Structure 1
Amino acid sequence: MSVINLYCDESCHLENDGQPAMVLGVLSCPDDRRKVVGRRIKALKAKHGISPSVEVKWGSVSPKKLQLYLDLVDLFFDSTELSFRAIVVPDKKQLNHAGFNQTHDEFYYKMWYQTLVPLLSRTRQFQIYLDKKDTRSEGRARKLCEVLCNSQLDFTGEIISRVQHVHSHEVPLFQLADLLIGAVSYVNRGLSTSDAKLEVIKRIRERSALTLKQTTLLREEKLNLLVWRPFGGSAI
């Protein structure tokens, strides 16, 4: 049975962070190809004079390093083993948590469920990796594992064999996930303050033929987006 690694990250997911749009994203890669892709990412860093230990991420996109980030976008689209799925909640202010008797944290896990479940299959095994950000990270990993395993009746780890936190700066594929999530978040927050970031977004749009603001077909394999909107102001 083949093993698929899912690298999960998020942008502006906190309830009161002052940002309207929330994005959850997953970069998928077969486990037996992760080292190959990791070496490609490191090779691009070397090509542009960047140390392999330096973390490349959306927040670091700048005119000086623009070509590196354009090359990373091309690497994603040229690598048939890679795919990306994200859910966008355009305006967190429209969420009605009280009306649905839930907390924002509970909504957060529901959104991760919606993000990940379409990627799961009983013909493959999945290892889920989350970016370790704070002291709450381990608790979130256990909760997400519980939610997903219960949804799939997977009580023996046959489908989801691992849910683990890692440090993104140590994992090149996480850095690529951060770049894609950052671009989707930037577009859906309506930002335009960085010409370099707009160039990266332009390249993603050219390669994908997507606006990054609209839901794709459910079976869109390379870059799959769900722009989630509440019905009648409901939370979910």
Structure 2
Amino acid sequence: MNGLIHLYCDESCHLEKDRQNAMALGAVSCPADVRKRVERAIKSLKKAYGIPTSREIKWAQISPSNLAFYRKLIDLFFDESRLGFRGVVVPDKNTLEHARFDQSHDDFYYKMWWLLLTRMIDDEHGFRIFVDIKDTHSAVKLTKLHEVLCNAHYDFDNSRIKNIEAVHSHDVVLVQMADVLAGALSHLFRRIDGSKAKQALIAHVQTRSGLTLAKSTPPAVRKFNLFIWQPQERA
């Protein structure tokens, strides 16, 4: 294998009845050997903008007063060649037909995580996956997700996909970066115009990625990969 890669995962508006139409999941990929360097860079960026190093980076916290910091955070992501991102967007949760597929919304949520993560797994690296903790039942669901991912990639001894771990986002800065990028996607698809700072940051992500963020990218795209999910049409 060519080294270990960490996948840091978070989501935005994933709840079934949160009155938000769009749901987005995202994962930042970071080779284990550059993780500390990236974390130090983010810590230095916080100090440069007068933000306490213990303060959590979150999409929900973006405002005109800290927009410059979040722009630089996005620049850090795009300028660090070894970081990558994949996002999956469900544009309209109102189109979901869980009864038709004999599933709960929670089942669907974890299916979307499988859809996101399976494209990030390759045959050349080992992987550790960190997911922002969702609820007290997360551990059981993540164990099953790990099992399904390993089976799909013929990793029956967990030698490649080593684990999926539930973590608190407050403690893991790269999960926080995933929160910001997933939040940008969710905000775009929810068509919210209220926050000029958030609109400006979305525009900055669009500029740096060269993407509208409204369409799926080719599967082979590594730096900023997107999949816009659509419901299965009835026969």
- Structures share fold, TM-score greater than 0.5: yes
1:138 and 1:191 map into 2 onto residues whose CA distance is 33
Instruction: Quote the residue 2:169 is aligned against.
Output: 168
1:37 and 1:233 map into 2 onto residues whose CA distance is 46
SS in 1 for 2:66: helix
Q: How does 1:8-87 map to 2 (within 5 A)?
A: 8-87=9-88
SS in 1 for 2:181: helix
Instruction: Quote the residue 2:210 is aligned against.
Output: 209
The size of the alignment, in residue pairs, is 234
Which range moved further: 138-147 or 167-176?
A: 138-147
CA contact (8 A) 1:96 1:233 kept: no
SS in 2 for 1:24: strand
Instruction: Quote the residue 1:115 is aligned against.
Output: 116
Instruction: Quote the residue 1:159 is aligned against.
Output: 160
2:180 and 2:53 map into 1 onto residues whose CA distance is 16
1:137 and 1:68 map into 2 onto residues whose CA distance is 32
2:110 and 2:175 map into 1 onto residues whose CA distance is 20
1:160 and 1:105 map into 2 onto residues whose CA distance is 23
Deviations 1:115-150 (A, max 9, x none): 111111122110000112431222232122122122
Instruction: Quote the residue 1:104 is aligned against.
Output: 105
Deviations 1:164-216 (A, max 9, x none): 11111111111111111110110011111101111111110111111111111
1:167 and 1:84 map into 2 onto residues whose CA distance is 20
Which runs of structure 1 show a deviation greater than 6 angstroms over 4 or more consecutive aligned residues? none
Residue type matched to 1:147 in 2? V
Instruction: Quote the residue 1:192 is aligned against.
Output: 193
Which range moved further: 105-114 or 81-90?
A: 105-114
2:80 and 2:207 map into 1 onto residues whose CA distance is 16
Instruction: Quote the residue 1:124 is aligned against.
Output: 125
Which range moved further: 67-76 or 163-172?
A: 163-172
1:98 and 1:36 map into 2 onto residues whose CA distance is 46
Deviations 1:64-119 (A, max 9, x none): 11100000010000000101001101011111111122222222222111111111
2:73 and 2:137 map into 1 onto residues whose CA distance is 31
CA contact (8 A) 1:58 1:179 kept: yes
Structure 2 unmatched runs, 5+: none
Residue type matched to 1:177 in 2? A
Please state how far the C-alpha of 1:233 moved relative to its aligned partner.
5.6
1:67 and 1:206 map into 2 onto residues whose CA distance is 15
Which range moved further: 39-48 or 164-173?
A: 164-173
1:108 and 1:138 map into 2 onto residues whose CA distance is 14
1:176 and 1:221 map into 2 onto residues whose CA distance is 17
Structure-1-length-normalised TM-score: 0.95
Residue 175 and residue 64 in structure 1: after superposition, are their counterparts in 2 closer, same or farther (change >3 A)? same
Structure-2-length-normalised TM-score: 0.95
2:134 and 2:108 map into 1 onto residues whose CA distance is 19
Percentage of identical aligned residues: 49
SS in 2 for 1:230: coil
SS in 2 for 1:232: coil
Please state how far the C-alpha of 1:11 moved relative to its aligned partner.
1.1
Structure 1 unmatched runs, 5+: none
CA contact (8 A) 1:42 1:172 kept: no
